[in-house]
Structure 1
């Protein structure tokens, strides 16, 4: 099925008044639970019920390599760190492992295009498109065929977890140099000058930051005149992990799942998904504000209010894992908190 055939329904407002009344009549002043009330309303609308549930929360971490990493112009880390970090995920040693275990979240690691072959592992899904993208300083990152394949594989992965009972999914990523791909996509989709999109990523110094800006400005100018639509932007600048996330997000929203959105790179995938299907935003909960400078601008462009601001800039879906208990609390109060009537408490 072509990604362009997919449609996402805007959230039904049929139950909005009923849900709001349920929220307002709990034993509290109106609005006293703040953002928790907004989340409860949103998830109730997504699930079209006044008794929403969180079922089998899952975080997918998509990993892929980028050809630009081999030039040493945008990251101080070698490309091999991507595969080393994937192995760390599989061994349970990364931050995302710690937070998923703490909050009882199912973790799935997706090889979207890492430059190595991994042995089979229960946590790992092999969805490899190729061993990394092309170097977009000389060519498009991927072909149109590869882009569509990545979008479709993302959709398939979500359909599988949905069929197993999951109704809320978080997105994470790993890929050396993927902040550069995210900056390029941000510049295209938000019409922001590239220098205002580029950040320090994995920690470049001032000279490294200027080299990164200069390199990505050249890349942007090389490709921009050949891009006519969001898919072509993904072909020019994307990573396989970013494109696969985009397809996964679109499928999740079409299935009326709740989407947990992590930081800068994940939000760049959402920018592409939003350009293809604007109604996707109704299904998204923005978990945190990244320390990467472009992320606040992305959130402003999407008119999104994040739950947390902890200075995180790790990726991996860590913001999703940390924010999930807040989302769970929102559903729990809606389902379990007494109303003024049931508790025999006088209303104002």
Structure 2
């Protein structure tokens, strides 16, 4: 591994003293104490993460990792794997939902081919393909240990590039037909909950398709038997290249005190993997929204978080996080721009 990458990973503790100072300051603002609700909590959490009294989250950086999944050979998705390539091209043509929302928040944007099962040549595409999709984990391990480590490093490196560019908040997104199957399998292993309680529609499965998907995951888990305490073993046996990439990116952000805004089920699953690799990683995460996928709530609870929004979204791509970003930004502006009772000459008695 690279000298400055995961091999020397060190995630700092939260700055609790800065959090106390900002809590005291927030209590002095010209509103009744606690009346700004979770905005106050978000501002204090950002202060702890960044170590700054007046934290900045603008501009955000959006990184979308795209990869295919061999498990789609088992008919677990409503769409063929070719859609991963087609949607990646849509991202490059600025036509996807995440393009729209990224523009709305003036985000830096990067689309990374970490494992699409096709060759795409485009100047705007960051080509870091580890392999052309994972193997079918119903029949064999999804990746080798070397491939897992490479995917983690790709994610780490892309986050470093984004942060060096000036991103103050990292939003991760994904594209990969079959990745709700992979995520359901991972969360079942880590949480100990039944596959049945975690599997939803994904990209639009009907009831009989959901039952088939559950059976495939259950049988695959019995065959692969991943170690729930070993994130590398989990990724090797049932993981996804884009999930490993996002986990690596989160570890890079946390090591540099950059807040991470999680999206839906797939991204939060990557957050779980990152936290299994380094427990402090979760300290730097916010959950942008709770998606309509049933497994997402379990993943959120495992991280000990509460979502900022609940809009019933299940698009992926980083969209829910991008939509939630203005709320995170509003929390920073409360501290930065509001007057205190003392500065405004307002009585707080």
Question: Could you say whether these structures have the same fold, taking a TM-score greater than 0.5 normalized by the shorter chain as the test?
Answer: yes
Higher mean C-alpha deviation, range 225-234 or range 201-210: 225-234
Tell me what 1:169 maps to.
170
Tell me what 2:289 maps to.
288
State the secondary structure of the residue aligned to 1:291. coil
1:259–1:285 contact (8 Å) kept in structure 2 = yes
Shift, 1:4, TM fit: 5.3
1:288–1:310 contact (8 Å) kept in structure 2 = yes
Shift, 1:229, TM fit: 1.4
Distance across 1 between alignment mates of 2:292 and 2:49: 29
Shift, 1:22, TM fit: 1.0
Shift, 1:55, TM fit: 3.4
Tell me what 1:229 maps to.
230
In structure 2, which of residues 42, 48, 53 is the aligned counterpart of residue 50 of structure 1? 53
Shift, 1:226, TM fit: 6.5
1:313 aligns with 2:300: no
Distance across 2 between alignment mates of 1:86 and 1:209: 26
1:215 aligns with 2:211: no
1:103-125 Cα distance to aligned partner (Å, 9 max, x none): 21122111110011111232x21
1:47-82 Cα distance to aligned partner (Å, 9 max, x none): 11211112321111111000111232x112111000
Pairing 1:313-332 to 2, within 5 Å after superposition: 313-332=314-333
Q: Relative to structure 1, is the Cα distance of residues 228 and 299 closer, same or farther in structure 2, using a 3 angstrom cutoff?
A: closer
Pairing 1:128-277 to 2, within 5 Å after superposition: 128-224=129-225, 229-277=230-278
Distance across 2 between alignment mates of 1:256 and 1:39: 15
Q: Relative to structure 1, is the Cα distance of residues 121 and 101 closer, same or farther in structure 2, using a 3 angstrom cutoff?
A: same
Q: Relative to structure 1, is the Cα distance of residues 30 and 228 closer, same or farther in structure 2, using a 3 angstrom cutoff?
A: closer
1:24-43 Cα distance to aligned partner (Å, 9 max, x none): 10100001111111111111
After superposition, the CA RMSD in angstroms is 1.3
1:66 aligns with 2:66: no
Unaligned runs of 5+ in 1: none
In structure 2, which of residues 104, 120, 123 is the aligned counterpart of residue 121 of structure 1? 123
Shift, 1:225, TM fit: 5.7
Higher mean C-alpha deviation, range 25-34 or range 156-165: 156-165
Shift, 1:319, TM fit: 0.7
Shift, 1:231, TM fit: 0.4
State the secondary structure of the residue aligned to 2:225. helix
Distance across 1 between alignment mates of 2:299 and 2:20: 31
2:30–2:338 contact (8 Å) kept in structure 1 = yes
1:150–1:240 contact (8 Å) kept in structure 2 = yes
In structure 1, which of residues 73, 77, 86 is the aligned counterpart of residue 88 of structure 2? 86
1:90–1:121 contact (8 Å) kept in structure 2 = no
Unaligned runs of 5+ in 2: none
1:63–1:113 contact (8 Å) kept in structure 2 = yes
2:226–2:233 contact (8 Å) kept in structure 1 = no
Tell me what 1:11 maps to.
14
Higher mean C-alpha deviation, range 160-169 or range 256-265: 160-169
Shift, 1:6, TM fit: 1.3
Distance across 1 between alignment mates of 2:218 and 2:107: 39
Length-normalised TM-score, structure 2 = 0.96
Distance across 1 between alignment mates of 2:192 and 2:72: 25
1:267-301 Cα distance to aligned partner (Å, 9 max, x none): 11111111121111211111000100111111122
Tell me what 2:78 maps to.
76
State the aligned residue count: 346
> Which contiguous aligned blocks of 4+ residues in structure 1 show a shift greater than 2 angstroms?
1-5, 225-228
Length-normalised TM-score, structure 1 = 0.97
Q: Relative to structure 1, is the Cα distance of residues 143 and 18 closer, same or farther in structure 2, using a 3 angstrom cutoff?
A: same
Distance across 2 between alignment mates of 1:110 and 1:311: 27
2:190–2:228 contact (8 Å) kept in structure 1 = no
